């Protein structure tokens, strides 16, 4: 009986979070700014399959994990410290516009723009054991014990 209750509560919790996250393919690129000099590294725009997206808002689940992947890659290859930013969109054409806009911005400010072609993001997928804050409407529900 106890195992049946645990299994039922786990599946109900998973369904609750499944309402907020969907698996979709996204296009991404990264920008890495070197702290030591005025060098900016751009990655290629790549399609990342099965990423977790928040329903309604379209935000990428665990966005900071993608930037951390890029930062770790540059630390391992160049050994330097850098700040990484990841840009994403479901439509490649919109992301290409952002890519060219950012590239032009850094070129105008006299940064040395370099490109890396061998970096690829690994998808970060929502896991039921992750501690995730629910959207505001879930948080506003009154407590039944009052």
Rounded CA-CA distance 118/70 in Å is 11
> Do 124 and 66 touch, CB atoms closer than 8 A?
yes
Predicted local confidence at residue 55, as pLDDT = 80
Within a domain: residue 67?
yes
Which tens digit of pLDDT belongs to each residue from 70-119? 999 998 987 778 899 999 999 999 999 999 999 999 999 989 999 999 99
Predicted local confidence at residue 11, as pLDDT = 47
Half-sphere exposure of 60 (CA within 13 A, CB side): 21
| Domain span holding position 105 | 22-117
Phi-psi region of 4 (alpha: psi -120 to 50; beta: other; left: phi over 0): alpha
H or E element that contains 14:
helix 2-18
Rounded CA-CA distance 137/49 in Å is 29
Within a domain: residue 131?
no
The number of folded domains in the chain is 1
Phi-psi region of 124 (alpha: psi -120 to 50; beta: other; left: phi over 0): beta
Predicted local confidence at residue 114, as pLDDT = 92
Other Cβ atoms less than 10 A from the Cβ of 22: the count is 15
Within a domain: residue 132?
no
Half-sphere exposure of 96 (CA within 13 A, CB side): 4
Within a domain: residue 96?
yes
Within a domain: residue 2?
no
Within a domain: residue 129?
no
Within a domain: residue 81?
yes
| pLDDT at residue 134 tops 80 | no
Within a domain: residue 126?
no
- DSSP class of residue 39? E
Structure tokens of 69? 């992947």
Which tens digit of pLDDT belongs to each residue from 5-64? 545 455 444 444 455 678 889 999 999 998 778 889 999 999 999 888 888 888 888 889
């Amino acid at each position: 009986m106890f195992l049946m209750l645990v299994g039922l509560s786990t599946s109900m919790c998973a369904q609750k979070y499944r309402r907020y996250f969907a698996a979709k393919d996204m296009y991404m690129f990264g920008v890495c700014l070197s702290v030591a000099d005025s060098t900016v590294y751009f990655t290629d725009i790549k399609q990342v399959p099965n990423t977790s997206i928040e329903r309604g808002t379209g935000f990428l689940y665990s966005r900071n994990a993608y930037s951390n992947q890029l930062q770790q890659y540059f630390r391992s290859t160049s050994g330097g410290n850098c700040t990484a930013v990841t840009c994403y969109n479901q439509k490649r054409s919109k992301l290409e516009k952002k890519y060219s806009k950012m590239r032009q911005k850094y070129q105008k400010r006299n940064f040395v723009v370099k490109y890396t072609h061998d970096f690829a993001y690994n998808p970060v997928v929502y896991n039921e054991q992750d501690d995730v804050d629910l959207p505001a409407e879930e948080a506003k529900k009154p407590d039944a014990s009052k």
